[in-house]
Amino acid sequence: MKLSSSSSFGRSSSKRSSCSRAFELLDVDLEDRSGGGVVGGAMLPIFLNDLRRNNDQDTVEVTLELEDDSIVVCSVTPTTATAEPAAGTSEGVFGRSHSVTSRIRRKFPWLRSPSFSRASTTSETEEHNKITARDVRRMKARLQRTRSSAQQALKGLRFISNSTISGACEEELWRKVEARFESLAKEGLLGKEEFGECIGMGRESKEFAVGIFDALARRRRQKIAKITKEELYDFWLQISDQSFDARLQIFFDMADSNEDGRITREEVQELIMLSASANKLSKLKEQAEEYASLIMEELDPENLGYIELWQLETLLLQRDTYMNYSRPLSTASVGWSQNIGSLRPKNVMRRATETLRCLIIENWQRGWILLLWLLTMAGLFAWKFNQYRSRAAFQVMGYCLATAKGAAETLKLNMALILLPVCRNTLTWLRSTRARSFVPFDDNINFHKMIACAIAIGVFLHAGNHLACDFPRLVNSSPEDFALISTDFDRNKKPTYKDLLSGVEGVTGISMVVLMAISFILATSHFRRNVVRLPAPFNRLTGFNAFWYSHHLLGLVYVLLLVHGTCLFLAHQWNQKTTWMYISVPLLLYVAERTVRTCRSEHYSVKVLKVSVLPGNVFSLIMSKPQGFKYKSGQYIFLQCPLISPFEWHPFSITSAPGDDHLSVHIRTVGDWTQELKRIFTESDYLTSISSRARFSLLGQMDQRGQPRVLVDGPYGAPAQDYKNYDVLLLVGLGIGATPFISILRDLLHNTRLEEQLDSNTETSRSDESLNSFTSSNLTPGGKRKWQRCKNAHFYWVTREPGSFEWFKGVMDEVAEIDYKGQIELHNYLTSVYEEYDARSTLITMVQALNHAKHGVDILSGTRVRTHFARPNWKEVFTKIASKHPYATVGVFYCGMPVLAKELKKLSRELSHKTSTRFEFHKEYF
């Protein structure tokens, strides 16, 4: 093949190049020498050979698109003169070329392109042009369907979920289907209503499964409502076929209800509604007509009113292209291979050493605290144990007494230490000091629970040895042995067992054991979270209220402990009664904390400015910002409504930014307190009845406007408040667990906005109060801007309810509008929708991509952030971040279920070990 013109290539970064060459039809070798196939498809050599047979001197210009394993014909146009026409002839160069063009057009109408159509005669009708344009697109689609794209397509259009087919062979899967048939069938026949459940699609996909059933029945030229096991097996073989073509044909047949080989807009609409029903997307069903028109607009540009199988195939095979139409707001923009070179050697000893090093780096703060605590308890136990071994009482009561007294010494220490982790104001202040570098303040609640367990063990050893061992030995001791310790008892008289229990020491000790047992049991997760179901009226012993009120019984325990510690049998001097020495300072600190909280909450009485009821049993409160109230993003506050309860305080993450002139929280109604709070502020009838009674007994519970009072206590420190100490943030929130991170996103947006304003004009006066407050918080006393270490954030929000995206819709839109540098990546995941390659969500995925490309709005969240389906692949997420931010320190902050926390923590450790990026994991409290 002889080339008469040079080729012009597109961008070098593209895998596809566009070549425009003129071919002389002489000695054309059209066989692909590498594989024996025909280059450019079966039709290209036929049409070129036809040209050679008609006129060896005729030449045409063919524009091709070259890929790795395919050639796409873009246009065919006649060239300029190849030889001068004979003198006196009426046919010139253009005439000869035009004749060649006409023969090409008549022979191969599928080659008609826009450029070629312009050379056609004006006698052709508009309808014929439309059909020809569709033929061109059909041939392009066939040529573009490469082996790689077909292999990629095998992931798509699964009719059975991955979780159903994972790790199972075909015979095993059919045995499960057969077993379900036996349980669901009646008289040997399975109704189509149970078809979806039988094949493993689940009851929630009932309508979609019925559509598959009808499509497979139409193939058999049947219109049936029930099938036998043999017919079910035939249906199963078709559904479980691994080829993409088979799956595509079933999907097409579902929509093609009249079996004419064409899908109309109404049939596309019906298929969208089936998919929306399977994924519980009621809002999508309401807009199915609009989205069906969107698909027809994309696939039927000629407006013929129908699409064919090849057009649907094109839509699915070009899935990635459609998904990448929009701004990469929710995708990483850097290749994964960037950080691969930093992987450490896979030597076993080296790997073990690195793992040990990572464990030490991650846990050294917890390690030295726990080691110090354990050594202190062991030292106190041994000291007191040996002290009583050398006393006369040891001759009477033996090791039982020494063990009980040693355990009592550890109890004194732990009863003092258990108060420190719940002194929130103190911990919040310590977080701002250098102590945070060697004390794990994030684990204060875990440490509080560990001390509680140690107290339970100490009580068991102390009380158990007294009641079961040394008291019986004392009562049954001989007069000679008792004479050794008789001076330690009243009137030198040996007490009875009843005397020991009815005395001050016995009554206070037993009372403390009972009260602590009640408090500890009701504080366990099963009781606190209503997992345990008790019959009425004992059902009031479960839930948060039972935990909250029972914990206040411990105040009485401390009073009894002081009494118990001053009335001892075997100690009479003041320096031997050391209980008060242990608990006095922590107890005074805790009392001072509670006093400050009470006084501050009265001062921080806020006005509720706005209440918004949101989907998913969530409502937001926007409150006035109290005078002098300062906080950091990531912190939380306690709210109290005296009208509901004058004692209950409940924690909520702050969702407003420090620079805002208001406070906002988002509350999910999961308990009686939150339900009552929502009812008070959202039901007008309830407010009217409250206002009419306020002048009698509720004056202290209402504000001057007649609205219920809301008291604020805080702010209190949380792990997320230290986000500025990291180069990059990975924020992971499950459902309402996204609230701690919304304030951080708002703060980052404020930083971006402030930097732009300071860079553009540092002398511009700022009259806005909120901007002034934010500016002052980000400038040093000398007027210089504070250095902000954190520049990038990746926010992953995983939820089951599509309506949840309404909660923070404004924040996500604001990020999309302001963050033009791409510093914040937002990723929304909806787990109620099947994975993106499932047949039940395939069409929704395409509608979502097309609508996002055309309007810039996601069909599920209503924002510019595209929603992903199913759960994230967390290993893939961490790998992307490590590739994009090498040699950076990434703060991983998580708020949600504990199960996922373990996975994220493990991945943080593994990726810190394998890559040059360091991940530090933190879990929020609630």
> What single-letter amino acid sits at 744?
I
> Are the C-beta atoms of 770 and 659 separated by less than 8 Å?
yes
Q: What is the pLDDT of residue 124?
A: 47
842-869: string of b/e by CB count within 10 Å (b at 16+)? Answer: bbbbbbbbbbbbeeebbbbbbbbbbbbb
Q: Look at residue 903 in the predicted model and tell me its pLDDT.
A: 87
User: 């440490």: which residue's tokens?
Assistant: 447
Residue type, 349: M
Q: Exposed (0-12), middle (13-18) or buried (19+): which is 913, by Cβ within 10 Å?
A: middle
Quote the longest CA-to-CA distance of the chain.
152
pLDDT in the model for residue 162? 57
What tokens were used for 288? 């199915």
Q: Residue 280 has what pLDDT?
A: 83
Residue ranges of the alpha helices (H) in 720-855?
739-760, 769-777, 809-818, 839-855
Residues of the chain falling short of pLDDT 50 = 1-43, 55-57, 68-70, 80-124, 147-148, 167, 326-345, 690-697, 699, 763-787
The DSSP call for residue 344 is P
Distance between CA atoms of residues 217 and 720, nearest Å: 57
Q: How many residues does the chain have?
A: 926
Token pair of 846, please? 């395409």
Q: Give the residue among 650, 655, 692, 702 at the shortest CA–CA distance from 672.
A: 650
Q: Which two tokens stand for residue 82?
A: 């190849």
Spatial separation of the C-alpha atoms in residues 558 and 583, rounded to whole Å: 9
DSSP classification of residue 636: E
Strands (E), 592-655: 605-606, 608-614, 618-624, 636-640, 650-653
